[in-house]
Amino acid sequence: MPFYIYLAAEGMSMAASAAAAAVGAGAVALFRLNRLPSSPSTSYRSCLLLKGLRAFAPFPYRYHFASYSTSSLLSQEAAAVASQLPRSHAANTSSNVVEILEQRGLLESLTSDGLRSVCSSSAPNQPPLRVYCGFDPTADSLHLGNLLGIIVLSWFLRCGHRAVALIGGATGRVGDPSGKSSERPELDLETLHKNISGISATIRHILSRAAPTPDSVSILNNYEWWKDVRLLDFLKDVGRYARVGTMMSKESVRKRLESDQGMSYTEFTYQLLQGYDFVHLFRQEGVSVQIGGSDQWGNITAGTDLIRRILRVEGAAHGLTFPLLLKSDGTKFGKSEDGAIWLSPSKLTPYNFYQYFFSVPDDDVVRFLKMLTFLSLEEIARLERDMDTPGYVPNTAQRRLAEEITRFVHGQEGLDEALKATEALRPGAATKLDAKTIEGIGEDVPSCSLPYDQVLSLSLLDLSVSSGLLESKSAARRLLKQGGLYLNNSRVDSEAKKIEANDIIDGKVILLSAGKKNKMVVRVS
């Protein structure tokens, strides 16, 4: 529960004791030194208050100075006291992010338990950690598989730490390390730049909504430091410290060595490239934690090893991996019949993104609520209990999952757009359709164009076939008899129904539906 306290000249000692009591009871205090008091004695009291509250540290708090109306000397004094407080922007500093991740099924392995104690609230005066996750620019958009990295970074942000997203611009030039595409044709710098800007934009959009302050998130590209590294320097500064035996024993390497095509030297070196990224970020940017999917374990430990050997520091760098997102049948979650679940709205509309989560099976929904949303565990437990009660409306938990995650990825506007399209496309929906709404969902559902005079007076059964919605007139007739054929969301019962002028919405479009799922937008020209 956030606890707000406005420090003003009057009633300060009462406010102070109330705040202290609330903080002692585990509340989050937000200090807003709204108007610093005008007389020296009250100003000192505000300093004393901050000093006194420090005795309760570690506690989650925020402070904020606004509209100084008095002598800046006095405000500076209060600011100096405040700046000595353990952590600034965190509202959740008392929560141990490692424990949160563990409770939510987002923790697979840690390189050492040191990270757990660094994150624990009994480690006061600990500055915020800087945490990084790498993203390879192998496509022009991120997909669902990348989302867990962004979610884990967001949990660190929520617990008062800072996030760095590292785009692999250098590693992207080297080629696909997994050797999936055996030989890269000549390097296509244009698509590489497009890919980098596409995924940077998505990360920026999502993380900036999750960030308490703009400076708690940065996006870096490793090409910035790799472009000037010469081979001889690399061998001297990095290669000398890397043990080939260790590199060979990594599972991903062993697997590739056993395969028919073997492994290229470039691919073998990939773990050193990624390992050195961590060295660079540790040294130059104060980054001490790397997170990644469980398939990144070898690359992450290559980094912590190099930091130990090159910089000769023990236990200062940490790695954390999260599990892959699997369905309960063991297959990978994140692919639909039409391909990957992209995070960029230009590749997959918010409506289709929303629908994908809406149709998650009941067996998976609770686990996904924990992993993919920020809802409290109590709330998720309540949704789970409701699923077993009589009268449960099917897909209520899925709806919540779809809403939370669509809002996280596409923002409130994206969610509104998805909900609007969902409602407009719901058979039997009462909302009045207009051409603009239908145009808006034009990307979400299949569409076709037919000339006006061909459509007018055509029977609905014929239109269902000529538009491509159904395969044959007999199939259309059968569906109509079953009550599954809809024109502009209204069910049609008569086989004789012909398209009239007022069925063509705003003289431009018709919406046909076959059952709940199959739609066709007929653009009339």
Ligand X SMILES: *[C@@H]1O[C@H](CO)[C@@H](O)[C@H](O)[C@H]1NC(C)=O
* Site of interaction with ligand X (CB under 6 A): 91-92, 95, 100, 137-140, 158, 172, 177-178, 191-192, 195, 250, 252-253, 270-271, 274, 295-299, 374, 376, 433, 487-488, 490, 502-503, 505
What is the closest distance, in whole angstroms, from the C-beta atom of residue 328 to ligand X in the complex? 25
Q: Please, is 525 exposed, middle or buried when counting C-beta atoms within 10 Å of its C-beta (0-12, 13-18, 19+)?
A: exposed
The count of residues in the chain is: 525
d(CA 305, CA 243): 10
What is the closest distance, in whole angstroms, from the C-beta atom of residue 319 to ligand X in the complex? 11
Residue (150 or 505) nearer to ligand X, CB: 505
Residue (475 or 487) nearer to ligand X, CB: 487
Strand, helix or coil at 62?
strand
Sign of the dihedral defined by the CA atoms of residues 53, 54, 55, 60, in that order: positive
Residue (140 or 364) nearer to ligand X, CB: 140
What is the closest distance, in whole angstroms, from the C-beta atom of residue 342 to ligand X in the complex? 10
What is the closest distance, in whole angstroms, from the C-beta atom of residue 516 to ligand X in the complex? 17
| Residue whose structure tokens are 């250098």 | 170
What is the closest distance, in whole angstroms, from the C-beta atom of residue 48 to ligand X in the complex? 27
d(CA 67, CA 454): 68
**CB-CB contact of 206 with 141 (8 Å):** no
Cα 467-497-421 angle, rounded to 5 deg:
50
Give bridge partners of residue 134 from the DSSP assignment. 166
What is the closest distance, in whole angstroms, from the C-beta atom of residue 446 to ligand X in the complex? 19
Residue (10 or 258) nearer to ligand X, CB: 258
d(CA 278, CA 520): 50
Residue (36 or 155) nearer to ligand X, CB: 155
What is the closest distance, in whole angstroms, from the C-beta atom of residue 35 to ligand X in the complex? 25
Q: How far apart are the first and last CA of the chain?
A: 57
Residue (274 or 355) nearer to ligand X, CB: 274
Sign of the dihedral defined by the CA atoms of residues 173, 179, 180, 185, in that order: positive
What is the closest distance, in whole angstroms, from the C-beta atom of residue 5 to ligand X in the complex? 16
d(CA 112, CA 91): 26
Q: Minimal CA–CA distance to 15: which of 30, 83, 26?
A: 30
What is the closest distance, in whole angstroms, from the C-beta atom of residue 278 to ligand X in the complex? 12
Residue (184 or 478) nearer to ligand X, CB: 184
| Residue whose structure tokens are 């705040």 | 19
d(CA 291, CA 297): 9
Q: Write out the two tokens for 289.
A: 């934690």
Taking CB atoms, the residue at the shortest distance from ligand X is 298
Residue (96 or 126) nearer to ligand X, CB: 96
Residue (43 or 96) nearer to ligand X, CB: 96
What letter does residue 334 receive in the DSSP assignment? S
